[in-house]
Every structure is written in structure tokens, then in C-alpha cells.
Amino acid sequence: MGRVRRAYSSGAGAAHAACNALDLADVGDVAGGAVIGAASAVSRGAAAGVLAIAAIVPLIALLASPAIATMIHRDGVPNHAAHYRLIAAAVEKEWVDKTPAPLKLFGSDTNIVNGAGFYLSAKPLRIDIVGPRDTPWADRARIAREGIALACATQDGFCMQALGAYAGPGAPRREVTLSRSYFGVADTPVRYTIAIVPPQK
């Protein structure tokens, strides 16, 4: 009988331990499921927040862009970039007023000569008069033969010194004040000096 009771007790203990193990496993599964569910909820919330921000930021930028553009326009942009088209129009007008010859050469500093030169309808060769070694394709003889239109911001001392050297004392000069308008708002006016050297006959 003692052996039977001990066997029974051992069997009951094993069964009880097994039940406890199953209960712990169930608790672990429930806890794990709760953690995963919470993590999924947090992930969904974070994703929704990111999407909301991604939708709002471009909208704010779109609404603010006219004001930003107006401020940039009013304060001006570097290297006279806002005036390139206006400079080109003023240069062409001066050239046509002074000579019937086609405009083949245009000179200024590197920024204006490339920026305004792009808008010149005759597409003349561009001469960097401040750094002439960068544009060696027009020597003095060619300039005398074909003539040249020169333009500088009047306050740019280096460009104006080069303009004087290329134009000489007798070349006609004219100062123009240019300002671009954007939705009725004018940018800072800038004075430019244009000199025309007609071709030698």
C-alpha cells in the first residue's frame, strides 16, 4: 500500500506541475499577445503621425511660397540675376540706336555676360572683360573690326574699369536704372552703364 500511495502521490505531483506549466504558458501567450498588440497600436499611431506631417508640411510650404518669393524679389538676388533679361533689352536698344551692324560681341563681368548674354537675340560671342584670359577668342583687332556692346553695374568698380579700357574715352555711354516688378512689387533698382563701340569702317 505504501508503494501504491507513493506512486499515486508522485503521479499527482507530476500532473499538478504539468497544469502549472500549462497555466504559465497561457499567461505568457496572453502577455505576449498584449505586447504585440500594443506595439502594433503604437506603430499604427506613429505611421499616422508621419503621414499627417508629410501632408501638412508641403501644404504650409505652398501657402508660404508667394510671401517667400515676394521677399526674395524685393531684397534682390545675387549677381544681378533678376535683371539679366532687362539688361539684354537695354543693350540691344542701345546697339540698334548707335549702329546698323549686327551685334557680334558682348562684354561684361562673368555673371552679367553669361546671364544677360543668354537673352540677346543676336547670340553674340561673350567676352569676360574682367577676366579676358577666360574668353580669349576676341582680340583687340576683332573688337575694332566687329564692334562690341559693353554693360556693367555702375557700382561695380572692377567691371567699370574694364569697360573704360575696352570702350576708350570716345565711346558713347548711357546709364540706365533697371527694376523688375513682381505682382506689383518692384525690386531694388540698380544702375547699369552701357557702352557701345561700333565697328570701325
Residue where the block lists cell 570702350 = 167
pLDDT at residue 3 in the model: 41
pLDDT at residue 21 greater than cutoff 60: no
Of 55, 89, 98, 122, give the one whose Cα is nearest residue 192: 89
The better pLDDT of the pair 30, 179 is held by: 179
* Largest Cα span, the chain: 141
pLDDT at residue 12 in the model: 44
Q: What type of residue sits at position 54? A: A
Contact yes or no for 107/166 (Cβ under 8 A): yes
Distances (CA, A) of 38 to 26, 27, 44: 18, 16, 10
Domain extent listing, the chain: 1-75, 79-197
Q: Which residues contact 143 (CB under 8 A, 6 or more apart)?
A: 105, 127, 166, 197
pLDDT digits (tens, 9 = 90+) for 84-126: 999 999 999 999 999 999 999 999 999 999 999 999 999 999 9
pLDDT tier, 57 (very low <50, low <70, confident <90, very high otherwise): confident
pLDDT at residue 65 in the model: 53
